[in-house]
Structure formats: C-alpha cells, structure tokens
C-alpha cells in the first residue's frame, strides 16, 4: 500500500467515488465566526420574535447576543459577492482520517498519527519508520491515502502527499431557504448571510449535577444544518489499488451505519449522514495499465467526456461490488499483499 516513490512513474489512474449524501440528523460544522441575535425588547420572550443579523454583536446593546455561525465562505457571482454555507472538505477528510486511525491502526502505533512537534521530530521520524516497515501496523493505509508530513530531509525524507483528495459539492444549490428558529420562521430583518441551506437554532441548558438546577449563565444556542439537507462528497484516489476499493467499501458501510460521523456534537446525535444508492464509483485507468488486477471490470456505459478520454478508459464500479474488494484491504493489513 505505501510507497515513498509513489509518483515515480506518474499517475496511472484515479478511483473516483461520487457520493450523494443526505443528513439523517442535524449537522454542525463551524468556522468560529459569531453572528448576532437580537431580542425585540428586554422582556423574557423565550426567544419568540428574535431575529438574526449577519454582523458582529454590538456590546453596548443589551438586546444583542452572539450565536456561533455554521461554516460559510464567499463566492463571486456575476461581479457580486455572495456568502454561502459550506461543508469544508478538510472536515470530511479529517473525519475519514480519524476513523481510519482509530479502526485500522494497531494500538501500539496510535502515537505515530499525531502531528510532529518540532522538538520531537527525530523521535517521530523513528516511530514512523517503524510503523511503515510493518504493514500490520495499519499505518501504511493512513500514510498512503492521507499523506505524511515530517520534518525530515534528504534520503531519510518520509514526507509524502496523500493519494486521497476530497471535494464537496456544496449544499443543495443557491435557493434561499427559510431560517428556522425553534420551528418559528425568523423575520430576518437584517440577515444578509448565506441562505443556501436550511438551518435551525437549537437551545441547550446544562444542569448542575448536584442541585439538578440550571447552571447560571450556561443556557446557550447553536446553529445547525437541518436534517434532510443534501450535499455531495467526491473522493478521488490516485494510483488506485484493489485494497482502495475495499477501503471505500468499509467507509460506505460505516457511514451508512452511523459509525462514521461528520462535524461536531456527534455525542448528542449530530453528524449522521447516509450515502444514497444513486451514488457512483468509477475507475479511470491509463490505456497502458493492466486492469486485470481489479478483476472483472467493464467500461462505463455512460461515459463521461474528459480531456483524459482516449488516454484513459473509464470503468464502472457498482457500489454493490465494492464489498468484494474488502479482502484485499484485509490482506494489506495482514501484511500479505493480495494485489
């Protein structure tokens, strides 16, 4: 699985999984930005008739409080700047990496997956070297797919770019959607923020463990994407092997089983998604490459036009056939390379 000279002979193919994903539970992915919630007056209104403003809170105004926004970015469309909610690919990639480390890396090598601090670089390099030398450590899968960054140089350089790239096609288009606040549609008097996803604001209230009463000042609200929101995850694996299809199969099952979740607050049920059955998976392989290592695969009947057509051939991999490749992944982890 792992090869420090991975790209010495170029790139011979791409495994391209395009997953359409629907949120089975609310999803919380933030970027640390806070927006403002405004009360109509000082009475205890239980958040009825509050509205949200896409700006910083004015601390001098007692009627204003902060709410942490969901992750958003900006885009330029026809010369106009427009904010949009997004699921950062780094978040999804991080979740996949975290799952891989926790489930495929032997416990003795878990420390290897931690980022190297400058003063521990030499120790880290030695640990990584041992982990990579032993396929049963499981770390080869992590390093090969997600990459390896180390402060080493020269012939001992163990840094390697990962073969896995993640892109996200963003949340269900740019159609404005209502902003829900505890089921009440907000007036959005000042809200010029993103509107391309249905969001809701949820309240949490920590209780004191001893008195069972509310902790003073701890009541807080947070925004989340609503259940039912959809987006697409595109996984591309360069120079694919059969074990990579086995890896995709395992991810597919774990995501749909709810064991692999995205974003924050998974401990209170957030972040579960489902991959729809209409999702696709293709292998693009250079004409010179021996495709027999993947067993019986067939050219895709719905060929996608691409600049690489005529140089590379496109093969369809039905989602149902992925499980047949899990044995290759298992072989990799056992140290017996099946492919």
Partner 1 sequence: MNKILKGEGFQNRYRFSGTLTTESPLHIGTGSSSNDPKFFSQGEIKKFKDEKKDPPEVSLIIKDVNNKPIIPGSSLRGVMRHWLQDVLAGFGNQWSQIRNYEERTLTELDQEEQIQRVKDFSWVEFIFGTPFHEGKIDIWDAKCATATDKKNGNEKKFLGWDDNTLTYVETSVAIDPVKGTAIDKLLYKYEVVPPGVKFEVDIVGQNLSDLEIGLVLLALEGFNSHIYPIQIGSKGGNGYGRVKYESGKIYGLSNTEVKDWLTGMLNKGDKSNDGGYYMLPELSEDKKSSLIKEAKSAITGGLQSSR
Q: Between residues 16 and 50, which has the closer beta carbon with respect to partner 1?
A: 16
Please report whether residue 102 would count as binding partner 1 according to CB under 8 A.
Answer: yes
Burial of 136 by CB count in 10 Å (0-12 exposed, 13-18 middle, 19+ buried)? middle
Identify which of residues 91 and 331 has a Cβ nearer to partner 1 in the complex: 91
Left if phi > 0, otherwise alpha if psi is -120 to 50, otherwise beta: which for 4? alpha
Looking at the Cβ atoms of 48 and 161, the one nearer to partner 1 is 161
Q: Select the residue interacting with partner 1 from 125, 165, 226, 293 (CB under 8 A).
A: 165
| 141: contact with partner 1 by CB under 8 A | no
The values of phi and psi at residue 146, to 5°, are -100, -10
For partner 1, the closer of residues 5 and 213 by Cβ is 5
Q: Which of 64, 66, 134, 316 binds partner 1 (CB under 8 A)?
A: 66
Residues with Cβ < 8 Å from 287, sequence gap 6 or more? Answer: 311, 312, 313
- Site membership for partner 1, residue 157 (CB under 8 A): no
Residues 117, 132: Cα–Cα separation, whole Å: 19
Phi and psi angles of residue 226, each rounded to the nearest 5 degrees, phi first = -75, 155
Q: Which of 34, 106, 220, 253 binds partner 1 (CB under 8 A)?
A: 34
Dihedral in degrees, nearest 10, Cα atoms 290, 291, 293, 298: -160
Q: Which residues contact 191 (CB under 8 A, 6 or more apart)?
A: 51, 52, 53, 54, 179
Minimal distance, residue 222 CB to partner 1, in Å:
16
Residues at the site binding partner 1, with contacts judged by CB under 8 A: 7-12, 14, 16, 31-35, 54-57, 59, 66, 73-81, 83, 88-90, 93-94, 97-98, 101-102, 110, 113-115, 146-147, 161-162, 164-168, 192-193, 234, 236, 238, 284, 286-289, 304, 306-308, 310-312
């Amino acid at each position: 699985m792992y090869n420090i000279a991975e790209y010495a002979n170029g790139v011979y193919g791409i495994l391209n999984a395009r997953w359409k994903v629907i949120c089975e539970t609310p999803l919380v992915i933030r970027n640390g930005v806070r927006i403002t919630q405004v009360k109509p007056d000082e009475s205890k209104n239980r958040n009825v008739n509050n509205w949200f403003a896409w700006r910083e809170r004015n601390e001098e105004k007692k009627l204003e409080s902060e709410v942490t926004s969901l992750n958003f970015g900006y885009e330029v469309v026809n010369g106009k700047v427009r904010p949009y909610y997004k699921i950062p690919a780094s978040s999804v990639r991080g979740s996949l990496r975290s799952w891989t480390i926790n489930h495929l890396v032997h416990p003795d090598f878990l420390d290897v997956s931690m980022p190297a601090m400058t003063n521990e670089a030499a120790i880290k390099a030695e640990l990584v070297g041992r982990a990579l030398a032993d396929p049963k450590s499981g770390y080869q899968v992590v390093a090969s797919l997600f990459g390896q960054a180390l402060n080493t140089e020269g012939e001992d350089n163990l840094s390697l770019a990962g073969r896995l790239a993640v892109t996200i096609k963003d949340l269900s288009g740019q159609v404005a959607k209502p902003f829900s606040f505890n089921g009440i549609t907000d007036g959005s008097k000042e809200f010029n923020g993103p509107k391309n996803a249905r969001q809701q604001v949820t309240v949490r209230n920590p209780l004191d463990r001893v008195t069972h009463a509310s902790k003073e000042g701890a009541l807080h609200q947070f925004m989340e994407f609503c259940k039912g929101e959809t987006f697409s995850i595109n996984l591309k694996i360069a120079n694919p092997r059969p074990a990579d299809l086995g890896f995709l199969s395992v991810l597919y099952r774990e995501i749909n089983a709810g064991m692999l979740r995205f974003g924050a607050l998974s401990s209170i049920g957030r972040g579960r998604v489902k991959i729809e059955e209409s999702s696709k998976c293709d292998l693009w392989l250079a004409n010179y490459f021996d495709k027999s290592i993947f067993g019986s695969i067939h050219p895709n009947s719905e060929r996608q036009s691409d600049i690489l057509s005529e140089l590379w051939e496109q093969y369809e991999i039905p989602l149902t056939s992925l499980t047949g490749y899990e044995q290759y992944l298992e072989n990799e982890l056992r140290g017996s390379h099946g492919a």
